[in-house]
Structure 1
């Protein structure tokens, strides 16, 4: 019997992961090459078979023994178990369970020798289609020694497309996909080729570009992402109770420019990482609780972009939005909603040219705000509220002159969105909007002091907004505002140390802890944290 059944988004994260010698290996695709390479009836790689299979799984193609459903290129295949395998292998016709076991098409293999893209069939090729014939597509070994594996199947009128984990002997009930495990035999498409395992990169010191950090609440894990000196995106993570931070690991092969951004999709227990490829297109990779690895990089939608990319999750719609600055200086968005077939094409937020941007989700109003720095150095906003016909035009937040990055944060206890910006005088200002007010406030100085970069974090337990800033002396300071206080505190040193950038911030709600990550002058990333009840921030420690 199946030991688990995956949700659609959970398994999208494994769409192009393949197994080599019983261990999971990343796909050899890069951010710019993850497209179909086979022709109908031609040679096909195992990873492409998985991408094609996942296409039907993502769409939850309904089971039927007549009619057709399209593959990635629009070619129709019969949407039953054998038609699905025919589609995944990119065959010329929709074969049946009997004809798939033909030596002109496949070769029998021992079940212990199954490789990604092989199939398990229970209908010997004798010219008679068995009434109980069934075939499933083998994905990978999870634990080869134990016989544990994963597979895709177009199952039945009841289950349609599904992805399951089972044991080659059928586990406790002796069945795989509703049929006796002992009746299955392995077959391998004669024109399939296995992908070479992706080489494991040597650890690298992250390059001096800003990155991102995110908290995976379901796993109680903090993730930090970084663009490596080789242009690849790396991550390091710490899970509550573990011995320490992991080493730097490649998310998935691909080369990128600038900083990645990350977002946590709580509904699906999924972290998304968004990055700008060297081809100026925007890609995403994601990890879902229970997945064996990160997904391969996948194109969000075709388009040319430069500089800032941002992401936000709209909880009430279970939608992740990505905002990007086009090469024309305008801001575009693409979004993915749970249950949809994929990301939308890029759509213009509203006409206007800008140099940087950020986003915030105002939960009380079910509104996404895009905050952008205009070419006139003033800060504007455009917003979309659930149920509206579209985005508003750009509106000035408040008069003022600013430079560089913008930061946004939502203070849930006050139903307030804050925008924090670096003035042309090097000081940090904020403006805020609270549900029910007439509009955004004018810009107000957080506290006197000059800085080069900054970030923000909301400490929910203390109802406190913190601004974390890099001083001109390369040390990191913080100023905070707590609900009910008369104003912001003066700037206070977090802990001694010299840095080049504020890398990211995270709030761990289960530990009531705010974390700050900063790039040291030695190129390493350091962490400091504050937990409710402690008198001060911790010292800096390399992750």
Structure 2
């Protein structure tokens, strides 16, 4: 067994173009302060930067790193370290994946480092993860299947018996918890260095202001990605999130990201008398009772609404009444939930005006009414819209005016509006032009705005409870790129103070 392992180590080094020096723990690199739940970096207690690798990690390198701890006589300890990594299973996986520091089994997925995949997608360098709440937690690095039956695999793991490379029944030993296959988002082959047009990616802005890596959303069936022109997202009271997407086929798709980071996969929504709902625009709102409300502009140009119940069933799409017409024709829609159980809708009618209405808790609607334009003159003409409910019962709206710039205003609890005011642009520009916008409210009373600027990149800013703004800043791009080009953006606030963003890439 020793000679086989030694031979394998040599082969891995040759395949990866490595020198013998890489068989030791990876050298420390300069880095900014990071969250330190385990005390190995001085315990700064906040995320200054995520524990990311410097670049895409080759799969041969992952296995070489895993092999480098074999035969060292390391003792398993959740408080011990070898180099800068903790000497337990998750510290071992963090080392193999070349992270800046050790995570634990419960943080690989929430921090955007790993993604749940299917059994048939497993490749060398992926892992089997037990991160179930209340479990002891464990992670095993996947090497290869032992034979074509795929009932067992060669895996690297750090256990109380030491670091081992051996055959393991899939997914793991009986009665040891629930294991699921996962992939490091920065492993070669799990992402490209660029995104295809309209490809959906998701990431999280943590409550302290740092961002997790992007995750490509899986497509329908065996499709590796989801591509489409429109998206929306809503953060639910239980910590889950619901995402809508319009695919390149024109159908409306829905999926859920559970609070533990697992995705349900996209599924089509039923249409009005048709097997699927075809639409040009979508919006979704989370409600305090755990339901969600969805809007879609159908291929006939009408706005349709339905509710997803807490059971997971849907009420079915029904058209909204227009202004003196039986249906509301619109170009854009947005919806938000309020703490009192009501919801508020914005729409841009076919006349280009912005309209607002409320859905009361008994399911009735107040009817659409136009919003006043700049300085109270006429009706507000707009190209894009967004609306967010705040904990105090107010709502904040953003629109792009006829000049393409972003304007913001607040609907007070009295029902009156403060009037639209232009937002400052990026890097000292007096105005912020946007091709897509979104807004969300946070539990602390702040709001966050996301926008695609006139350079095609995604920008983000915060509105504080004082009414001041942080100013727009570019959001770091995908695969360590300095900026993220986007076509459509959506953002939602979560109960833990984080916000989730979905972008249809440019």
Normalised by the length of structure 2, the TM-score is 0.50
- In the alignment, which residue of structure 2 is the partner of 1:295? 264
Structure 1 position 374, deviation (Å)? 0.9
Structure 1 position 438, deviation (Å)? 4.0
Could you say what secondary structure the match of 1:294 adopts? coil
- In the alignment, which residue of structure 2 is the partner of 1:169? none
Contact 1:362 1:410 in 2 (8 A): yes
Are 2:274 and 1:305 equivalent residues in the alignment? no
* 1:170-227 deviations in Å (ceiling 9; x for gaps): xxxxxxxxxxxxxxxxxxxxxxxxxxxxxx986343234485747599xx9999xxxx
Structure 1 position 484, deviation (Å)? 4.2
- In the alignment, which residue of structure 2 is the partner of 1:451? 433
- In the alignment, which residue of structure 2 is the partner of 1:391? 365
Could you say what secondary structure the match of 2:447 adopts? strand
Q: What is the distance in 2 between the residues matched to 1:300 and 1:450? A: 35
Structure 1 position 428, deviation (Å)? 2.0
Q: For residues 464 and 210 of structure 1, do their structure 2 counterparts lie closer, same or farther at Cα, with a shift above 3 Å needed?
A: farther
Q: 1:377 aligns with which of 352, 364, 368?
A: 352
Are 2:416 and 1:439 equivalent residues in the alignment? yes
Q: 1:425 aligns with which of 403, 409, 415?
A: 403
Could you say what secondary structure the match of 1:206 adopts? coil
- In the alignment, which residue of structure 2 is the partner of 1:11? none
Contact 1:470 1:499 in 2 (8 A): no
Could you say what secondary structure the match of 2:228 adopts? strand
Q: For residues 439 and 288 of structure 1, do their structure 2 counterparts lie closer, same or farther at Cα, with a shift above 3 Å needed?
A: same
Q: 1:250 aligns with which of 218, 226, 239?
A: 218
Could you say what secondary structure the match of 1:371 adopts? strand
- In the alignment, which residue of structure 2 is the partner of 1:403? 382
Q: What is the distance in 2 between the residues matched to 1:285 and 1:506? A: 15
- In the alignment, which residue of structure 1 is the partner of 2:25? none
Q: For residues 300 and 209 of structure 1, do their structure 2 counterparts lie closer, same or farther at Cα, with a shift above 3 Å needed?
A: same
More strand by share: 1
Structure 1 position 396, deviation (Å)? 1.4
Q: What is the distance in 2 between the residues matched to 1:475 and 1:280? A: 25
Are 2:359 and 1:359 equivalent residues in the alignment? no
Q: For residues 330 and 203 of structure 1, do their structure 2 counterparts lie closer, same or farther at Cα, with a shift above 3 Å needed?
A: same
Q: What is the distance in 1 between the residues matched to 2:294 and 2:169? A: 33
Q: 2:292 aligns with which of 315, 320, 324?
A: 320
Q: For residues 302 and 216 of structure 1, do their structure 2 counterparts lie closer, same or farther at Cα, with a shift above 3 Å needed?
A: farther
Q: For residues 144 and 456 of structure 1, do their structure 2 counterparts lie closer, same or farther at Cα, with a shift above 3 Å needed?
A: closer
Could you say what secondary structure the match of 1:405 adopts? strand
Q: For residues 405 and 148 of structure 1, do their structure 2 counterparts lie closer, same or farther at Cα, with a shift above 3 Å needed?
A: farther
Contact 2:231 2:504 in 1 (8 A): no
Q: What is the distance in 1 between the residues matched to 2:471 and 2:197? A: 25
Structure 1 position 392, deviation (Å)? 2.8
Structure 1 position 353, deviation (Å)? 0.7
Q: What is the distance in 2 between the residues matched to 1:457 and 1:320? A: 15
- In the alignment, which residue of structure 1 is the partner of 2:305? 333
Structure 1 position 366, deviation (Å)? 1.6
- In the alignment, which residue of structure 2 is the partner of 1:347? 318
Q: What is the distance in 2 between the residues matched to 1:280 and 1:305? A: 5
- In the alignment, which residue of structure 1 is the partner of 2:343? 368
> Root-mean-square deviation (CA), in Å?
4.6
Q: What is the distance in 2 between the residues matched to 1:405 and 1:142? A: 53
Q: For residues 148 and 286 of structure 1, do their structure 2 counterparts lie closer, same or farther at Cα, with a shift above 3 Å needed?
A: farther
Q: What is the distance in 1 between the residues matched to 2:242 and 2:209? A: 13
- In the alignment, which residue of structure 1 is the partner of 2:256? 286
Structure 1 position 475, deviation (Å)? 7.1
For structure 2, the 5+ residue unaligned runs are: 1-116, 124-148, 152-167, 180-187, 322-326, 374-378, 425-429, 477-481
